[in-house]
Structure 1
Amino acid sequence: MEQQYVEEVFASWFYLGKLGAFNAENLQVQEVGVDISYMEYDPDMAENAFMSPMHNMTDFEYLGTWGRCWFDLGTSDPIALDILINALTQLSKDFVDIKRLIIGGENQDWPVSDRNNYLFSE
């Protein structure tokens, strides 16, 4: 059950990224501030923003209590990682005790095999 929770967070985050949701060039609500009651959203600004979709996500792999997967973040902005970390932090408080999150790099306890260099190639 815990694996499913974690995988659902990552899958949801990826689908939002695939749709270009993590586009720092178009953060109109964020820029308005706290009083958004009468905010006018500018669809032209959204339309003219550079696309920022993610491209690929691998299936999860597990080794003991470790889980991992890879993403091609495409042109998504770094705000995507902040949002993922926020979601995983709350998931850890409410449902799954996440002891450590590694973004990028390699876990010395679980080396990456050569085949992982070709995860996204066809």
Structure 2
Amino acid sequence: MLIQRAQKMTLILTSQMTFHLHRIIQEEMKRIMIKTLNLLTFLVLVLMTHLKLALKLRRKKNKILQAKTGSAKPVKVNFNKFEFSNSYIWFEFYNAPLENDTFRSWHIVGRLGGCNSMNMQLSQSTFEKRPNYDAIQGANVTPSTFYNIGDFEIQDNLARVWVDIGTTEPLLLDTLINALTQISSDYVGIKQLVFGGSEFENWKENLTSEYAGYSVHKI
């Protein structure tokens, strides 16, 4: 009788232990599966992020490595009795004329007094140590402003724009020449740039027809 009870208790204990062991194994497997899923999710996110960055870099690379459409030849710059208050700036392009956004931007910067050679504190200081800007000095310099600019006129591969810069500010001209030099190299080839003069190359004052290659663009 005692042996039977002992055997019965052994079976009950064995069954309970097996149940608990099975439950522990199931819970451990669940934890392992959850960790595995989390790891897989993380790896998928990393892979997607990597692919997005690769596509983004490829697009930027295509833009950066885009072939230049300008001219490797430097722009020839001449001055012909240029007056800051009343003069034409003449252009000769190799092919298509330049868009007038360049001159609009130049005029805005000049109009706001951005090109004032009397206040070039940072350009004249070294950056070996922290630069110091004197606001009082900057506020008391003689103001420089771009008074007026005319329309951008085009005749075939020639163009001109009338300007009234007002004050004698060569920095404005340097700024324009630098911008046009880069634009000529990268985008639209400019053969020559002439400041001043009432006549230029084959420009015809009486040619005002679009059918003959004339166009005018507001700045």
Superposition TM-score, scaled by structure 2 size: 0.47
Which residue of 2 is the match for residue 107 of structure 1? Answer: 200
Q: What is the CA-CA distance between 1:29 and the residue it aligns to?
A: 0.8
How many angstroms apart in 1 are the aligned matches of 2:154 and 2:114? Answer: 28
Aligned to 1:73: 165
Structure 2 unpaired stretches of 5+: 1-95, 207-219
Large movers: runs of 4+ above 4 Å: none
1:1-122 matched pairs, under 5 angstroms: 3-4=98-99, 7-33=100-126, 35=127, 38-75=130-167, 77-105=169-197, 106-110=199-203
> How large is the Cα RMSD of the aligned pairs?
1.9
Residue 79 of structure 1 aligns to which amino acid in structure 2? L
Q: Deviations over 1:48-91 (max 9, x none)?
A: 00011011011111111111111101115101111110110000
Task: Give 2:115's aligned amino acid.
Answer: F
SS at match of 1:82: helix
For residue 2 of structure 1, report the CA deviation from its aligned partner.
5.1
Greater relative CO, 1 or 2 (CA 8 Å, sep 6+): 2
Q: Structure 1, residues 91-114: CA drift from partner, whole Å, max 9, x if none?
A: 00000011111111131422557x
TM-score (norm 1): 0.81
In 1, Cα distance between equivalents of 2:138 and 2:168: 15
Cα distance, 1:40 vs structure 2: 1.5
Q: Secondary structure at the match of 1:40?
A: coil
Instruction: Report the AA paired with residue 32 of structure 1.
Output: S
- Highest CA radius of gyration, 1 or 2? 2
When residues 22 and 36 of structure 1 are mapped into structure 2, their CA distance, relative to the original with a 3 A threshold, is farther
Distance in 2 between residues matched to 1:112 and 1:48, nearest whole Å = 44
Seen in structure 2, the aligned counterparts of structure 1 residues 111 and 12 have a Cα distance that, compared at 3 Å, is same
For residues 68 and 36 of structure 1, the distance between their equivalents in structure 2, rounded to whole angstroms, comes to: 43
Instruction: Quote the Cα distance in structure 2 between the aligned partners of 1:69 and 1:112.
Output: 13
2: CA distance between counterparts of 1:46 and 1:20?
Answer: 12
| AA matched with 2:149 | M
Pick closer, same or farther for the CA change 1:3–1:108 going to 2, 3 Å.
closer
Give the percent of matched residue pairs that are identical in Structure 1 and Structure 2. Answer: 38
Contact 1:53 1:76 (8 Å CA) reproduced: no
